[in-house]
Structure 1
Amino acid sequence: MSTVIFRFRPHFNRFNRLSACVREKSAWTSEKILTSTLKEVDIPNLTVDQYMFRNLDKWATKTAVICGHTNRQYTYEEVYKKSRIFAANLRRKFKIKDGDTVAILMPNAPEYPIITFGVLAAGGVVTTMNPVYTAYEIQRQILLSETTLIITNEDLVPTVKEALKLAEKDFPIISLNIKSNPEGTASFKELVEDDHVDTSILKEVNRQYDDVAFLPYSSGTTGLPKGVQLTNRNIIANCEQQNTDYRQYEYTTESHQDCSLVVLPMFHCYALSICMLHKMSVGLKLVTLPKFQPDMFLNSLLAHRFDLLYLAPPLVMFVGSYPQMTAKHLEKVRAVTSGAAPLPSADIQRLFEKAEREIQFCQGYGLTETSPLISLTPFGQKTYEDVGYLLPNMACRIVDEKMNNLGPDKVGELVVKGPNVMKGYLKNPKANSEVFVEGDWFRTGDLAKINEDGLITIADRLKELIKVKGYQVPPAELENVLKEHPAVLDAAVVGVPDQATGERPRGFVVLKPEAKANDKDIMEFVSKRVAPYKKINEITFLKEIPKNPSGKILRKSLKEQYCK
């Protein structure tokens, strides 16, 4: 890698000072509870749509969102006006009432914020759906969320209609009719361009800061997807928590506006909350991509001045390994943040090599249930195996199986609380009783270790631990070792039954293009780097590792397909 001197902008120096300050100051209490060292933030008593546009006058004419594929775009003033018109039509023409659930089923698009803020301004609750869902999966979420209306792309209308039949429901479909308007659907374009609608009906909306605003679905630590009730306060708190000394953006002014790419799916809480809601609340310019395609991704990097990139591990790996990716594509990127899954330092170093410099790199940690961000690494910190420090207004504990506090430098389950923690799972008291303990402490289901200074390291998912002769083996640890092999592009590890040891690790490997290696070579490579009980004795070569849209390895799929 080329040796460079990375010159920090003024607020980066503040990050370095903060990083040093946090390391010097322990926030552990005598009860072995860790509290954030950052100054607490005030959380406005607003709804999300009110919060988003409270500073509209500062950036009304600046671009809010643009499609990186078609160049379709809207200013902040246009997003506001169109969302209000849409909201009024939802109340008048579709009889949306306070608390009604409205589903958004579509890929990333510049209309996504207009739809989202329109539903919220109409008093509705937004539930997001993956556009690759089957009719069966859509009908299940329709029933679980009690959806009353769905907004979707024109090409997805047939699937939605099939889902409605399966669910035995008959409610309206609004089509994002960019090209045509499918039969039996209402036209989104007509609804948002209806300048004659009387928006005074929105005065009837009576939603409070502690009402549910979003209802994404998450599997949590176990089981089938559950409706995560995120209130206005939850979302706004998480936005404000990112506006502290850990902020990653520069302030929007008349002469400057940071630009951020939104390639991660907006139906997922990471992109919805961090990439869209938070960044629009501070006036950034968003460039959306409808899906990830290498050429589209690379073209966008060249066409737009991206200050910030928010990625998941598979995208970081792509940036570091794709042959057509060059330093030219990354020359204006100031900072990259990765989240959603652990990321080995080897992948980060490959990104630096592509950029021919050390871009500011951060890792964040969170869950859908925490709106989603819990911790973040400050700029200037280069210990890439950790996920940083607690955000303001938060506290956490490391506990054993009996919920005893373990304190610093001990591995146990991470339990957190704060204003960004969900209200609870929708109509699921059993699941709520499993994740909430001692009142408002939320069990993350993740194993973690926190040092004396409050630096958090995620060990693994609690439910995914492999137990070999009673020893705990985190799959992520072995995956990191596998990916250090020069021929390995990607890897996954799962536990399989073993008569002698209880369980044993089994590896799945994707080789780099044109690389050559056999299973014996790779297993010997791992054996030299881990304790005997962690050794991998079986390797399966795959074309790709199955992952969900946020980049988490689908270990259950691997077990079902290869480990029967």
Structure 2
Amino acid sequence: MIMALNAITRTAQRIVGNSGILLSSRSSSLWTSDNIVKSPHKDVVIPNRTVVEHVWEDILKWADKTALVCGVTNRSITYQQLYKYSRNFAAQLRTQLKIRDGDVVCIMMPNSPEYGVAMLGILEAGAEVTTINPIYTAHEVHRQLVLANPNVVIGVPSTIKVLKEALQLAQKDLPIIGLNDGTGLPSGVISFQEFVIDSNPDLSVLKEVSKKPEDIAFLPYSSGTTGLPKGVELTNRNVVANCVQQESDPIKFYNDTTSLNQDATLAVLPFYHIYGLVIILLHKLSAGLKVVTLPKFQPDSFLSTLKEHKIQLLCAAPPMVLFLGSHPDVKKEHLESIKTITSGAAPLPRNDVQRVLEKVQPDTNLLQIYGLTETSPLATAMLRGSTAYSTAGYAIANTQLRVVDSDLRSLEPNQVGELLIRGPQVMKGYRNNPEATKAVITEGWFRSGDLASLGKDGVVTIVDRLKELIKVKGYQVPPAELENILKEHPAVLDAAVVGMPDKKAGEVPKAFIVKKDGVKVQPEDIIKFVAERVAEFKRIKEVTFLDELPKNPSGKILRRVLKDKYC
């Protein structure tokens, strides 16, 4: 989610790179007579193939190049090995565990090279992939096991105990495959390594797999920031389409892999989340990049990996951008190889952007992107060379946008309403939940639940989550607007705002502040700072200081958690 900030623009009329898109002259043509905004990019052809067919399409061009490497241990696999190991794993799933087309296999692991092997192997076996956060409790895992109904679960020693407890809660007895990280596997757990390195697997069983582009490939569960998580059915076509859409020249954020070149991207955003799974892992493997994995974000390993592996493309979330700009240990030498940083999922305050730009090379792009689990995930992206950091860019190829009022009537340019998205990347629906699906998809249009505006030139500005608006005496107050203002305060490192019940106003804004190290500030200082910058009904009424804010894996503030705990 990107919020409305003050735009930093070079000029309103510009030709973007060598893409041939002259936005100033084409802007009027992006709007149709019924207020639908088209993408400025030419439509791309969506290949009629499955995800694994798409990943392997050009593998002969880079078979001997590194596909995945662990940034901590430096263990790595080439593309040729990735192909071999994933097919071995698929064959074992079919022969040893009787996995069949349409079954579900669950992965509960941190990022690693083996994650790619497991994910592609599950798809090769004809099954669907569902992913679980490796730090979830047994109760949280149990809920997803009941909803997803997997046939097999895959974990690491640190997650297997939780998986076993969750299976007991769910009253399920399923095979558990474990990746041995050197600490050993519990009794009864199948060795992932033995499945993968089998020298004589029966690969002939893979000929029995009959998966079509319209079949489900992934079953991620939405973050649940506005309710209980729902299983999002993403087809092979959805994901392949989103991979191809990312290859339109103005939003192609990497160089082609050749005999002399291979760009590297850092995979620290978790693969169990759709951003990490599709944009970082799947798409970049399909393009032949080197994917450098980190099991979790730790400052030392993160910075050393950036430097040692000469990362060109960094896919980030706002907390990571905040770290890059504000942490004293981040030096220019760590960022000198980076050509592009993308950030999605939550607002990027202007100050955070400027701090990062001061540390990177002058020609480095820092670009906002926007999407949702239900859009596989990418829907909009800034163009290379853009400095309009307040926006989420333009609709990607083959994608249309509308902004509507509460009666679903399309609004005109620069009016704020709910953003609707239509394109080949929009999910099939929610698993076993036709009512929820019907509530968000009408005639192919997906209701994002995000408040946004569309400029005359088609540019998208995300304002806030529709369901998280604070209602003050009938006025609507976007929390993200106040959070951006709070982050302008010199003592504030991070901020969140929620609606606090009030007898007279209905709700009033309450702020949660993470202070910068070594600074002193009082609640009344914060309240006064905001009051000088907003209308009376938007003013902060109460401030609570916290050591950190609760966020989901993609960096979205969990305002519901703050509200439930403190309001």
1:341 maps onto 2:346 in alignment:
yes
Equivalent pair of 2:381/2:395 in contact (CA under 8 Å)? yes
Equivalent pair of 2:30/2:458 in contact (CA under 8 Å)? yes
1:329-358 Cα deviation digits (max 9, x unpaired): 101111100001111111111112233746
Deviation at 1:472, TM superposition (A): 1.0
TM-score, with length taken from structure 2: 0.95
Structure 2 residue matching 1:298: 3-state secondary structure = helix
1:413 maps onto 2:418 in alignment:
yes
In the aligned structure 2, how far is the partner of 1:103 from the partner of 1:486? 45
In the aligned structure 2, how far is the partner of 1:21 from the partner of 1:176? 53
1:127-165 Cα deviation digits (max 9, x unpaired): 000001111111111110111101111221111111111
Equivalent pair of 1:233/1:419 in contact (CA under 8 Å)? yes
1:289 maps onto 2:281 in alignment:
no
Structure 1 residue matching 2:73: 3-state secondary structure = coil
Question: Residues 179-328 of structure 1: matches in 2 within 5 Å?
Answer: 179=182, 180-219=184-223, 222-245=226-249, 246-328=251-333
Equivalent pair of 1:488/1:511 in contact (CA under 8 Å)? yes
Deviation at 1:555, TM superposition (A): 0.6
1:524 maps onto 2:495 in alignment:
no
Partner of 1:102: 105
Counterpart pick for 2:59 among 56, 59, 62: 56
Gap regions ≥5 residues in structure 2: 1-9
Structure 1 residue matching 2:482: 3-state secondary structure = helix
Question: Residues 334-483 of structure 1: matches in 2 within 5 Å?
Answer: 334-355=339-360, 357=362, 359-437=364-442, 439-483=443-487
Counterpart pick for 1:561 among 542, 558, 565: 565
Gap regions ≥5 residues in structure 1: 1-5
1:520-556 Cα deviation digits (max 9, x unpaired): 2221111111112111121111111111111110111
In the aligned structure 2, how far is the partner of 1:82 from the partner of 1:434? 41
Deviation at 1:380, TM superposition (A): 1.2
Amino acid at match of 2:283: H
In the aligned structure 2, how far is the partner of 1:75 from the partner of 1:292? 24
1:13 maps onto 2:44 in alignment:
no
Equivalent pair of 1:19/1:378 in contact (CA under 8 Å)? no
In the aligned structure 2, how far is the partner of 1:411 from the partner of 1:474? 11
In the aligned structure 1, how far is the partner of 2:376 from the partner of 2:194? 33
In the aligned structure 2, how far is the partner of 1:381 from the partner of 1:197? 50
Structure 2 residue matching 1:309: 3-state secondary structure = strand
Amino acid at match of 2:200: H
1:242-269 Cα deviation digits (max 9, x unpaired): 0112211111100001100000011000
Amino acid at match of 2:424: P
In the aligned structure 2, how far is the partner of 1:376 from the partner of 1:23? 18
Deviation at 1:19, TM superposition (A): 6.3
Deviation at 1:407, TM superposition (A): 2.1
Against the structure 1 CA distance between its residues 356 and 528, is the aligned structure 2 distance closer, same or farther, given a 3 Å change threshold? farther
Equivalent pair of 2:23/2:457 in contact (CA under 8 Å)? no
Question: Residues 84-95 of structure 1: matches in 2 within 5 Å?
Answer: 84-95=87-98
In the aligned structure 2, how far is the partner of 1:242 from the partner of 1:250? 13
Against the structure 1 CA distance between its residues 300 and 290, is the aligned structure 2 distance closer, same or farther, given a 3 Å change threshold? same
Against the structure 1 CA distance between its residues 12 and 189, is the aligned structure 2 distance closer, same or farther, given a 3 Å change threshold? farther
Against the structure 1 CA distance between its residues 555 and 221, is the aligned structure 2 distance closer, same or farther, given a 3 Å change threshold? closer
Counterpart pick for 1:500 among 480, 504, 529: 504
Against the structure 1 CA distance between its residues 356 and 39, is the aligned structure 2 distance closer, same or farther, given a 3 Å change threshold? closer
1:207-251 Cα deviation digits (max 9, x unpaired): 000000000001467420010000000000000000112211111
Amino acid at match of 1:60: A
Bigger relative contact order, structure 1 or 2, given CA contacts below 8 A and separation 6+?
2
Instruction: Give the total of aligned pairs.
Output: 552
In the aligned structure 2, how far is the partner of 1:455 from the partner of 1:183? 56
In the aligned structure 2, how far is the partner of 1:542 from the partner of 1:22? 48
In the aligned structure 2, how far is the partner of 1:354 from the partner of 1:520? 34
Greater displacement, 256-265 / 522-531: 522-531
Deviation at 1:18, TM superposition (A): 3.3
Equivalent pair of 2:23/2:40 in contact (CA under 8 Å)? no
In the aligned structure 2, how far is the partner of 1:326 from the partner of 1:518? 31
Percent of counterpart pairs with the same letter? 54
Amino acid at match of 2:137: T
Equivalent pair of 1:340/1:550 in contact (CA under 8 Å)? yes
Equivalent pair of 1:397/1:407 in contact (CA under 8 Å)? no
Deviation at 1:301, TM superposition (A): 1.4
Amino acid at match of 1:228: V
Structure 1 residue matching 2:155: 3-state secondary structure = strand
Against the structure 1 CA distance between its residues 21 and 66, is the aligned structure 2 distance closer, same or farther, given a 3 Å change threshold? farther
Deviation at 1:12, TM superposition (A): 7.7
Equivalent pair of 1:106/1:130 in contact (CA under 8 Å)? yes
Greater displacement, 355-364 / 95-104: 355-364
In the aligned structure 2, how far is the partner of 1:19 from the partner of 1:377? 14
In the aligned structure 2, how far is the partner of 1:350 from the partner of 1:290? 26
Deviation at 1:433, TM superposition (A): 1.6
Amino acid at match of 1:288: T
Deviation at 1:30, TM superposition (A): 0.5
Structure 2 residue matching 1:240: 3-state secondary structure = helix
Equivalent pair of 2:338/2:360 in contact (CA under 8 Å)? no
Deviation at 1:289, TM superposition (A): 0.2
Amino acid at match of 1:261: L
Counterpart pick for 1:167 among 138, 157, 170: 170
